[in-house]
Amino acid sequence: MAMQQLRLLFHHLFQHRTKLQVGSWKLLVSAASFLLACLILITYSATAGNRRISDSDLFFDADDGNGHSTDSDSDSKNACFVDLNLLRVLADNSTTVDYSRLNIGVLRTDNFTAFEETLDVSIPSYRTVHLDTGASREIRTEEDCTTSVTIQAPIAAPPPDASHMIFGVATLLEKLEDSLDAFAHWASNTQAQIVAVVEQGGSSVRSRIQERASELGIRLAITQTEDDRFDRYFSLVRVLYQNLEEESTKWAVLMDDDTFFPSMRNLVHRLDSYDSTIPQYIGGMTEDLARLSGSGYMAYGGAGIFLSIPLLADLQYYYEACNSLKDKGDRMLSSCIYSHTDAKFTWERGLHQLDIHGDASGFFESGRPLPLSVHHWRSWFQADMVALGKVADICGEECLLRRFHLSKSKDWFLVNGFSVIQDATLWNDPRPMEQTWEKSKHKGSDPFAYSLGPLRRQDPDKVSFQLRDVVQETDRGQVRQIYMLNATDENPPQVLEVAWTEVQE
């Protein structure tokens, strides 16, 4: 009885919270006294009866508009619900959102050959979800979460063996800590070694980083120095050589703290096509001719620079001479290699420096093969690569950025992990990449065509739901992606939740 009264009081106060004025202090004092008495009674009753009080007992039951609770113990175990708290965060100050959910079942099979380009499904109709309630979730019927379409995916494989690779990054402790989740996507449990060269100090932060890296399955070594940023980058040439632990190590990789490898398996496989027993200098170019004219034909650091161990060993003889050049790190490295060795730069087209500003959606929505690397994803443009990569746990890395046509919804495409778009121009020619980013300072024509072409103009009529968050539920074998179209003066935000779930035959 006391519990029911407590819940009713919470509900009453919540419903009338905007009407309480300063002059209502007597009511608040009385309410507080009553609450204290109820809590004492509840605690005594629970102790006497040896009953554990659940979190749901301490909050009132909010109605979802259909006459049943959205926060009860039984409902909390229900897999079919709308996460209202998450939508409140994403929808800013909106009191409602238009919500829809697409459910994709993933069948892992030995018979997998390739992903389908088309999903025989439409975007379900939207309905209004109210956020100005006291509930944390809105329970839906199982019908709302019934699989809309099932696709095949390859059998889950263990992480690839990358013990023959050592990665080096020159950064700050704070940025290193922020990068661990991204590193975990490609380095976790692969036996790849990462060496970070950072500034002096911060012993407690360093310990925290090492502990977190260990939890994530990352082999991380931290070296501290008083060198400035450019010197720290070039020092990787020596530091990586000094940290070689395996006789089987074939490749040393210089990268930035925002270099991201979507698929370590693809990276290992691609490097296997190169002869690591001879001096090799491999990397990615800038996409912008304006930057090429200033820096020249070389491997740009953000895309990842891959040096075979024979070349790394040769550079040790010239380290002091090259270190005196005092330029940007990747320029120092290219000058050193060109001046003192016979190695020449090999442009690996899958490695992307991504020297583009503003809206990079055209690159990610292009439907082209998954990049080997991307860069600048949290600075020159915004693309949450960590969130993007989560769905790989359900459908594999090769389904990342896969562009699926939703055949029953006109001109709609799901770009897995990045966006859901309506773009009628894709039917004219699906090959060209939409040039959505800012213009180059290059004076000539088509400054990005040599690297990213063929290109097409930006489509002003494209409708784009951007990935805003991802919820990973390992125990359910499910990843839920939240795509959102921002509110306008006339309409509230629109949310499309795409739930990827492992299914059995």
Same domain, 305 and 407: no
Predicted confidence at residue 425, as pLDDT, reads 83
Residue 87 has, within 13 A of its CA and on its CB side, a CA count of: 31
Between the alpha carbon of residue 282 and those of residues 352, 372, 426, the distances in Å are 12, 13, 33
Residue 70 placed within a domain? no
Same domain, 207 and 234: yes
Range of the domain at 491: 83-154+395-505
Predicted confidence at residue 33, as pLDDT, reads 53
Same domain, 170 and 296: yes
Q: Give the three-class secondary structure for 234.
A: helix
Same domain, 483 and 342: no
Predicted confidence at residue 28, as pLDDT, reads 43
Same domain, 271 and 304: yes
Same domain, 181 and 149: no
CB atoms closer than 10 angstroms to residue 313: 14
Predicted confidence at residue 78, as pLDDT, reads 55
Residue 260 placed within a domain? yes
Closest CA to 106 of 505, 502, 416: 502
Residues 97 and 82: their CA atoms lie apart, in Å, by 11
> At which of 312, 347, 382 does a domain end?
347
Residue 275 placed within a domain? yes
505 residues of the chain, pLDDT tens digit each: 444 344 444 444 444 443 334 344 444 445 555 555 544 444 444 443 433 333 333 233 344 444 333 555 444 455 689 999 999 999 988 999 999 999 999 999 999 999 999 999 998 899 999 999 999 999 988 888 899 999 999 999 999 999 999 999 999 999 999 999 999 999 999 999 999 999 998 899 999 999 999 999 999 999 999 887 778 899 999 999 999 987 889 999 999 999 999 999 999 999 999 999 999 999 999 999 999 887 889 999 999 999 999 999 999 999 999 998 878 889 999 999 999 999 999 999 999 999 999 999 999 999 999 999 999 999 999 999 999 999 999 999 999 999 999 999 889 999 999 999 999 888 777 789 999 999 999 988 889 999 999 999 999 999 999 999 999 999 989 999 999 999 998 899 999 999 999 999 8
Q: Is the Cα torsion angle 320, 231, 299, 278 positive or negative in sign?
A: positive
Same domain, 311 and 457: no
Predicted confidence at residue 364, as pLDDT, reads 98
Same domain, 184 and 252: yes
Residues 428 and 35: their CA atoms lie apart, in Å, by 66
Residue 378 placed within a domain? no
Mapped to the 3 state alphabet, what secondary structure does 149-204 carry? Answer: EEEEEECCCCCCCCCCEEEEEECCHHHHHHHHHHHHHHHCCCCCEEEEEEECCCHH
Residue 256 placed within a domain? yes
Same domain, 416 and 466: yes
Q: What is the pTM assigned to this prediction?
A: 0.84
Residues in Cβ contact with 178 at an 8 Å cutoff, skipping those fewer than 6 apart: 257
Domains held by the chain: number: 3
Residue 322 has, within 13 A of its CA and on its CB side, a CA count of: 27
Can you give the CATH number for the domain in which 246 is found? 3.90.550.10
Same domain, 325 and 218: yes
CB atoms closer than 10 angstroms to residue 320: 9
Same domain, 194 and 243: yes
Same domain, 47 and 127: no
Predicted confidence at residue 79, as pLDDT, reads 67
